[in-house]
Chain A
């Protein structure tokens, strides 16, 4: 069973702090990794993707990948209340994406 695991949360952080969201996956053959943000009542929105080991930065977001440990993370710097949402990790496997159950992030003022 190919799996993607996330802590469901909620993860509560104060405004301005760094939010760290984590994801592990079971299939060592996976090569592409994605983070989606989903606001309540809305569809998922792709915010980051990463293919190589290491860090990838885009604005306040940094994705980190460690294929040896089968671990992907998303860091959100200077968290804002508008970042409050569910963050879904998705892992490519045989031409489709396997989604985790998502981590709910709450950023409080």
Chain B
């Protein structure tokens, strides 16, 4: 597997502000993914982030709300913009090490007040 870190691990933010979540992996990977997991729910894919190309967003998620950067093969950021209480969730990054095998970071617990 790989060592994946996320920062911050948790945050409490006011509505209308933005938060950038960082994801760092200890090896070079082509594909990184961002998920959201609301309490008691399963994982919902927000977008796929490949280095050197624009992120691919899933239905219901837009770049203006969740801009993603992927500057190199070990790092990605997800920004949650203009936050509302509905954005309160756990945000997870994952990396694909081998064919479709994804490994997750520890997550960022976001609370919007």
A→B interface (CB under 8 Å):
32, 34, 42-46, 49, 88, 90, 92, 95-97, 99-102
What is the CB-to-nearest-CB distance from B41 to chain A, in angstroms, rounded to a whole number? Answer: 7
Chain A contacts of B41 at CB under 8 A?
101
Q: Are B42 and A45 in contact (CB under 8 A)?
A: no
Complex Cα spacing A43 to B104, Å: 7
Chief secondary structure at chain B's binding surface: strand
Per-residue contact bits, chain B 24-38, to A (CB 8 Å; 1 contact, 0 not): 000000010100000
A46 proximity list for chain B (CB < 8 A): 1, 101-103
When the two chains form their complex, are residues B42 and A49 in contact, meaning their CB atoms are under 8 A apart? no
Name B residues whose Cβ lies closer than 8 Å to a Cβ of A: 1, 31, 33, 41-43, 45, 48, 92, 99-107
Contact B42 A92 (CB under 8 A): no
Complex CA gap A42/B104 in Å reads 10
With A32-B99, A97-B100 known to touch, is A43 a contact of B42 (CB < 8 Å)?
no
Contacting pair B101 A99 (CB below 8 A): no
- A44 CA to B37 CA in the complex, in Å? 11
Residues on B with C-beta less than 8 A from A100 are: 42
Q: A89 — nearest CB in chain B belongs to which residue?
A: B42
B42 contact from A32, A88, A95, A96, Cβ within 8 A: A88
Q: Pull 22 A–B residue pairs with CB atoms less than 8 Å apart, ordered by A.
A: A32-B100, A34-B100, A34-B101, A42-B107, A43-B104, A43-B105, A43-B106, A44-B43, A44-B104, A46-B1, A46-B101, A46-B103, A88-B42, A88-B43, A90-B102, A92-B100, A95-B31, A95-B100, A96-B33, A96-B45, A97-B100, A99-B43
Pick the most buried of B1, B43, B106, B107: most chain A CB atoms within 10 A of its CB. B43
A29 to chain B minimum Cβ distance, whole angstroms, is 13
Q: How far, in Å, is A33 (CB) from chain B's closest CB?
A: 9
Question: With A46-B101, A95-B48, A102-B42 given, can you name 14 additional A-B contacts, CB distance below 8 Å?
Answer: A32-B99, A42-B107, A43-B92, A44-B43, A44-B104, A46-B102, A49-B100, A49-B101, A88-B42, A96-B45, A97-B100, A99-B42, A99-B43, A100-B42
